Structure 1
């Protein structure tokens, strides 16, 4: 396991964590170091001053938790035949699962690209795999993988852990039930940085994890008594969405547009250089084409939030404030629901407010 070449990181959430030398090789690449310049919570930093942490430290945390969980299962259930190589593959997947995130976190994927490139089906998980391949080739890491006994089949296994669409149930990103080490780290880290209490303890999940045969399929399970603790996990996530991730002011800030950013997703070399610094490129630019974006950002920096937020749901309609509103609801809306709500907002605009059209109405399904 090359113990003498491993590296120890002092993490504010997990304490001292020791990472495999191959993980250190990956960390030392420019493609991974880029994550230092991507804020974990995007524009939420402009509302919560403590939310200055980056995807870099989150990725280290996910790598650490992934290794802890697999080692715990390996130790308790040797009959499963889990190898040290399997543990390393899952650690690398945890380390690289967020490589593909764009500037301002989910804003780039969820708001920016759908507007400037509506035809694309781009997702940060696929970009993580593309950038992972690009990094291995560009930095000549294949010999390092070979030294650790990792072949093409192992690299394919790593990619399956990174992108849930390939395999919907895994340790890093579990789309089957939402219980995964990615969530465990960001719940602990985000609560800590935001100053919000976290009632969920991932250490209990690791302690009680067992692989059982369920309906002919092996699954990671926990004891029945832990059901309430898992409810705490999902409630903490819900609470973070309500109080921070979808904070009304943070949502109002999420309106930035620059065409060339959208072209970078087709070129991993260009994409690997794109970070949150784009906001300062726009702010300091003299390009007339960026004048409107520059004005918006200057307003954000001086807390002049032109775009106002209103809580407005199909089930319970509320007041309209300013020019842009959000439609909020506890269920998935069909197109007719949304269309009717948008029409009502425009028709019932209060006197003195600016004129509204369909483009001024921002539709967002908030997490529940």
Structure 2
């Protein structure tokens, strides 16, 4: 699964979006984060299985949870949350689209296009039940009083708290990004997930099985949430970072008409090609094409100006409906690159 185009795409999706333009070290990607989450999911499952064999955690449970952990972020678009939190709501204001749904769609696309059904069956996975289970792990928690999950029965409810815990937010996704983001941003990490791994136990709470932790690690859990707060306050909600987000979002919105960027969310094969590279495509594509035309025209200097104009007009008519919007988008990105930024931008209510 790691060696598929759908997963390798994550090498080109930065974990912290545009924050590398403020914090030079923040260039890590969703690729290594996803591998880290899958690794930690396996660590937590092994700890629970070793300490509580009566839980009957099967090989198939291990595989499904780790696959969900591996694939949980495949639906992120360029610059991560900028795409699904700012760009899509503006160009498709009534769309219910979320990156978690896209992660599930990308997972199904990955299985189908790379012929992984047989390998899944060889590893003992049920193509119907286990794929539903993986989808539920990515999409849902288990907050309802009445058990509604179809992938696993209620005695396996604790498995739904490993990748994305909708009850209390203590999950391996958070454990990985806290350590990874703090490392690359140079922010102290006041949280040690190893202590939680050792003390994790499944207990019956209100007639349902939940992952619980010893009272002696309460301070460590408080440290986890405080570290998250520090990350947001010092880096993720940085004023200049937000200004850059707004400017790049504006550029993407302008380029959406000519480039049909948002259409990719309807076709996972197209979405596989959509990465952070869209920034460079908007910034450089037209300039590169025009320079090529001008270079060819220099073969006859008397016709230089006329040839360049003809090439440029032909290119505009062929490739873009609204070259003016693309030019404006490129201008915005040039301002970002050259640090010509406004002092502030208005935040939405």
Equivalent positions of 1:197-208 (< 5 A) are 197-208=188-199
* Residue number in structure 2 paired with 1:163: 139
1:236 is aligned to 227
Match of 2:151 in 1: none
User: Contact between 2:101 and 2:139, CA under 8 Å: does it hold in 1?
Assistant: yes
Which residue in the other structure is 1:213 paired with?
A: 204
TM-superposed CA distance for 1:217, in Å, is: 0.6
Partner of 1:284, secondary structure, is helix
> TM (normalized to structure 2)?
0.80
In structure 1, the partner of 2:266 is 266
Q: Which protein has the larger Cα radius of gyration, Structure 1 or Structure 2?
A: 2
Matches within 5 A, 1:80-229: 80-151=55-126, 152-164=128-140, 169-229=160-220
Match of 2:307 in 1: none
Counterpart in the other structure of 1:298 = 334
Matches within 5 A, 1:305-344: 305-306=341-342, 308-309=343-344, 324-326=345-347
Instruction: Determine if contact 1:103/1:276 at 8 Å carries over to the other structure.
Output: yes
Bigger Cα displacement from structure 2, 260-269 vs 128-137: 260-269
Change (3 A) 1:166 1:296: farther
List runs of 5+ in structure 1 lacking aligned partners. 1-25, 310-323, 327-361, 364-368
* Structure-1-length-normalised TM-score: 0.76
Q: Do 2:33 and 2:177's aligned partners in 1 also have CA atoms closer than 8 Å? A: yes
Higher helix fraction (1 or 2) = 2
SS in structure 2 of the partner of residue 119 of structure 1: coil
State the distance in 1 between where 2:333 and 2:206 align.
54
Partner of 1:282: 282
What CA distance in whole angstroms lies between the structure 2 residues aligned with 1:303 and 1:43? 13
Q: What is the CA-CA distance between 1:291 and the residue it aligns to? A: 1.4
Alignment length, in residue pairs? Answer: 288
The farther-off stretch of 172-181 and 256-265 is: 256-265
Q: How far did residue 166 of structure 1 move? A: 7.3
Q: Report the Cα offset of residue 165 of structure 1.
A: 5.5
* Distance in 1 of aligned mates of 2:64 and 2:81: 26
Measure the CA separation in 2 of the matches of 1:228 and 1:52. 31
The structure with the greater share of residues assigned to strand is: 1
Distance 2:340 2:122 in 1: 55
Give the aligned CA root-mean-square deviation in angstroms.
1.3
